[in-house]
Chain A
Amino acid sequence: EAGVAQSPRYKIIEKRQSVAFWCNPISGHATLYWYQQILGQGPKLLIQFQNNGVVDDSQLPKDRFSAERLKGVDSTLKIQPAKLEDSAVYLCASSFVRDIGETQYFGPGTRLLVL
């Protein structure tokens, strides 16, 4: 079974530029998550989708971050404009069902460096 795919793996941009990340979850997984992992920290949830609907985006900085999952499969996360503090690993995860006990499968992440 193929895992969660993310691209690109690495991205270097200058502050105030825009950037987009792509995620393709495991086939059949209805729930998709985007996390931000700053160096030395654990992942922090940015947004959670159930199919193509947003379940939780309470920790998403909506003035600059946006995410969509239009067809309920793959998803994009965008930052516009980027700030220095956005340098982090952006992890995508997916799970089969949204209830207690589901296992989230993480992708390898996209490492973003904002200069």
Chain B
Amino acid sequence: AQKVTQAQTEISVVEKEDVTLDCVYETRDTTYYLFWYKQPPSGELVFLIRRNSFDEQNEISGRYSWNFQKSTSSFNFTITASQVVDSAVYFCALSEAATGTASKLTFGTGTRLQVTL
């Protein structure tokens, strides 16, 4: 069975601080996908990144970066120089990649990030 754990329920930082959101996952599959989504107060889940299990290269997109470590089953997300607009709930999710079956996303419980001035 798949499981995603986001141990940090809530994080508060002051603007311009760096912040890392942790994600640990469990799966028996060798092929799977990992995702991060942002959920602002409006409710819509905003896609941030998708990474497959064979690609452990870290990725950077502007102020966002992701660190995928298969050895520790972790897929952590770092925001550099945080801004107030980054305030939201962030979800890590896992999808097994069996061809032809439903791409069910298993979500963690989310980390609420509050960035203040």
- Asked if chains A and B come from one complex, the reply is no
Interface residues of A (CB under 8 A from B): none
